[in-house]
Amino acid sequence: MNKGGTSLALLSLCCIGLAAIAQQQHDQLSASEREHILDGQFEVIRMTEGIPAKVKREFSILTREPLFALADPGQKFQVADVVIDRSLPRRRLVFAGRADEKWFIHYERGGRGHGYYVVVFKIDSQGEALFLWGGSGGTGAKNLEQLRKMVAAGQFSDAENYYW
């Protein structure tokens, strides 16, 4: 490849990377918006097999994983930053939920900064999942009601764009 072709290829890769980063950015929610982000009659999903492919795909993009990688509750995952088994995912589902066109995934992520996360998606009119909001916290919720209270109270911070 000539110099111009190499530059163009690098520019294309940079643009793709910037687009992926831009897609992960989100606005901080006001206290009122946080209070209502998980409104609705959610069906709680306890296993990853209950999450549809389009939400899994958007989650993979968000987490920068080539494939959907989320252990089910109770399964092994990479808890610490020392990798013992590369086949284990870095994240484990706490629980997820679906209400009409809205989905959320509440999970824990291992590593140097072990923590708990909640990410919310909306299914658009074409059936595609779009990332709406996400936050990070130090503890996980035991159930949907507790998760709603924690999000409303700001216990899942959305102050930064995280490596989900």
pLDDT band at 82 (very low <50, low <70, confident <90, very high): confident
Beta-bridge mates of residue 157: 136
Q: Give the span between the Cα atoms of 162 and 49, in whole angstroms.
A: 25
pLDDT tens column, 29-41: 998 999 999 999 9
* Residues 6 or more apart whose Cβ sits within 8 Å of residue 109: 90, 91, 115, 116, 117, 164
Mean pLDDT value across residues 105-109: 97
Q: Give the span between the Cα atoms of 131 and 122, in whole angstroms.
A: 7
pLDDT of 7 above 80: no
